[in-house]
Amino acid sequence: MKSLFVTGTDTSVGKTVVAAAIASALKSRDIDVGVMKPLQSGGDEDVNFLLKASGAKDELSLVVPYNFKDPIAPSLAARLESVPIDIEKIKDAYSALAARHDVVIVEGSGGIMVPIIEKGLDSYLVSNLIVELSLPTVIVARAGLGTINHTLLTIDHAKKKGIDVAGVIINGYPDEPSLAEKHNAAMIENLSGIPVLSILPFVNVAGAKFLEKVVSAVDVDRVMKIID
Ligand SMILES: Nc1ncnc2c1ncn2[C@@H]1O[C@H](COP(=O)(O)OP(=O)(O)OP(=O)(O)O)[C@@H](O)[C@H]1O
Ligand SMILES: [Mg+2]
């Protein structure tokens, strides 16, 4: 089985929620799922949510090889905290997790062009990490106005880097969608040739029910096809 990288069109689009929902959906099919957030900035919320959803019990040194204090781009956090980022450390942690689990769901930081190591035009971006890990990638996108532009830009960059874009997952689809929200998924598919794998609703409940509701909207068969 293959692992999966979850990126997004922006920060706060729902990468953690989608990655956790995929992990939970796969777990319910008796697949042993590991999770990873290679570069976390600004608190442990993401990793805690991912670990809870997947049931994985791996040590944090593998799940979150880099954990920065402030909610800022990894390259800046690394510079301000004087912790140089070594990509080999991330790759080794990923390999260790991949050896233990059937699948590892890896959540990126921010969007696909977020800098990990800043070196001018030769900077190492999230997209470079996806290429090195060689993982099929899902793009989490917002439902509303503006998402066509952000999603097409993300797909365009991913394709230029040679990334296998498995599909888009639209997150936060409201009960009463606007005109744009009703049409965005079909337009993204038409304009990009990339499938929209699932449309996850905006869920307005807290606690365990939250993830349950999101998971029920994940098209697990389509996710299975990507990782098979
Ligand atoms: N479908 C949804 N319904 C309701 N709230 C949601 C949904 N998806 C995400 N959220 C909320 O939106 C916020 C951002 O989501 P999330 O943390 O998953 O984004 P992210 O892309 O992982 O952000 P980051 O770039 O910080 O990793 C969270 O508070 C989350 O609970
Ligand atoms: Mg997140």
Picking from 129, 123, 127, 128, the residue whose alpha carbon sits closest to that of residue 139 is 127
Q: Count how many Cα atoms sit within 13 Å of the Cα of residue 110 in the half-sphere of its side chain.
A: 16
Identify the active-site residue in 27, 37, 160, 213. 37
14 has a pLDDT exceeding 90: yes
For ligand 1, the distance from its centroid to the CA atom of residue 84, given in whole angstroms, is 28
| pLDDT for position 67 | 98
128 has a pLDDT exceeding 90: yes
Measured in residues, the chain has a length of: 228
Q: How confident is the model at residue 40 (pLDDT cuts 50, 70, 90)?
A: very high
> Ligand 1, closest atom to CA 202?
3
Domains of the chain: 4-227 (3.40.50.300)
Q: How far apart are CA 161 and CA 91, in angstroms?
A: 18
Q: How far apart are CA 18 and CA 214, in angstroms?
A: 8
Picking from 72, 68, 48, 69, the residue whose alpha carbon sits closest to that of residue 60 is 48
208 has a pLDDT exceeding 90: no
Q: Which residues form the pocket of ligand 1, taking CB atoms under 6 Å from any ligand atom?
A: 8, 11-17, 46, 110, 171-172, 200, 202-203, 214
Q: How far apart are CA 121 and CA 174, in angstroms?
A: 39
**Mean pLDDT for the stretch of residues 189-205:** 98
Scan for tokens 């874009």, then name that residue. 165
| Dihedral of alpha carbons 56, 57, 63, 68, sign | positive
Whole-number mean pLDDT of the chain? Answer: 97
pTM of the model: 0.98
pLDDT digits (tens, 9 = 90+) for 71-113: 999 999 999 999 999 999 999 999 999 999 999 999 999 999 9
Cβ–Cβ < 8 Å for 45, 16: yes
Picking from 83, 5, 15, 77, the residue whose alpha carbon sits closest to that of residue 45 is 15
> What percent of the chain stands above pLDDT 70?
100
> Ligand 1, closest atom to CA 42?
26
Q: How far apart are CA 87 and CA 115, in angstroms?
A: 13
| pLDDT for position 93 | 98
For ligand 1, the distance from its centroid to the CA atom of residue 122, given in whole angstroms, is 30
Q: Is 69 a catalytic residue?
A: no
Q: How confident is the model at residue 172 (pLDDT cuts 50, 70, 90)?
A: very high
Q: How far apart are CA 49 and CA 173, in angstroms?
A: 21
**Mean pLDDT for the stretch of residues 163-191:** 98
Q: How far apart are CA 189 and CA 183, in angstroms?
A: 10
> Ligand 1, closest atom to CA 17?
18
Q: How would you label 53-70 residue by residue, b for 16+ Cβ within 10 Å and e otherwise?
A: bbebebeeebbbbbbbee
**Mean pLDDT for the stretch of residues 188-201:** 98
* CA distances, 44 to each of 40, 71, 164, 213 (Å): 8, 11, 29, 23
**Mean pLDDT for the stretch of residues 184-201:** 98
Query: Nearest ligand to the C-alpha of residue 72?
Result: 1
Q: How confident is the model at residue 49 (pLDDT cuts 50, 70, 90)?
A: very high
| Residue having the nearest C-alpha atom to atom 23 of ligand 1 | 12
